[in-house]
A = this chain, B = another copy of it.
């Protein structure tokens, strides 16, 4: 079995994948979220693991956008506590440059503003990349996990620099088939609505009618027309549950487009 994940090695996505699938199978590191989707779609990997949302920094918009056009299903979620460190090979006062992924920077913004106010910030494409760059350059530091310190030969200058101690990231496992109901599932779906007074309110009415708890709503530009949006909703229950199935049927009557992205266990 092969699992594709958003790499490089030692990122939080890699850690999440290992926690879910163990270490006795093949992991294929991918450069982009689009590549993870492609590996699973083209049958070169059985499952894909991508980040979807951080409890401090919010959704990973690129993952939501990829779900719009993909035929893959969300088959599971993994929630990982994320503890960021300041890594470097100099003393904290000597730091002139800080390498950081924008999401990680967002999770540590308060700490960085208070403790490294005059440092130049250079945004990178991953935490592992931040560590790699900091290891190459004097008077520089990186925001990354403790695993990256070992891998790139950096010292941990400060532990737990995320602004919220309960900082966690939710990852999705993507597959080609739907997951069966377990009795404690959630369903992710997306829809688009007409630009009319009350259209969103009407679209939410089916959830209300069948007393289904919506745990999340996001909007994203449709990318088809300026200022037109897709809505992404997570709700309790499996798509095969009677009341969820009925709500989806009703939703189809109110919306110009509805797509069920998957049902999967609510627990990790």
Q: Which A residues lie at the B interface, using CB under 8 A?
A: 34, 54-58, 61-62, 101-102, 106, 109, 113, 121-125, 163-164, 166-168, 196-198, 200-201, 204-205, 207-208, 211-214, 216-221, 223-227, 229
Contact = CB atoms under 8 A, between A and B. Distances in A.
A106 B56 contact: no
A45 to B, nearest CB: 19
Nearest to A164: B223
Given A106-B62, A221-B57, A34 B113 contact: yes
Given A201-B207, A217-B217, 13 more contacts: A55-B226, A56-B221, A57-B221, A62-B106, A123-B123, A123-B125, A196-B213, A198-B208, A200-B204, A200-B214, A201-B204, A201-B208, A216-B219
A167 B223 CA distance: 9
Contacts of A225: 166
A61 B62 contact: no
Contacts of A121: 125
B221 A218 contact: no
The 6 closest A-B CB pairs, nearest first, are A55-B226, A166-B226, A123-B123, A197-B213, A201-B208, A201-B204
Nearest to A224: B164
A122 B129 CA distance: 10
Contacts of A221: 54-58
Contacts of A57: 61, 221
5 contacts: A163-B223, A168-B226, A196-B213, A201-B201, A201-B204
Given A106-B61, A124-B123, A219 B220 contact: no
A226 B55 CA distance: 5
Contacts of A113: 34
A95 to B, nearest CB: 17
Contacts of A200: 204, 214, 217
Contacts of A217: 200, 217, 219
B122 A220 contact: no
A225 to B, nearest CB: 7
Contacts of A122: 124-125
A163 B58 CA distance: 24
Contacts of A218: 218-219
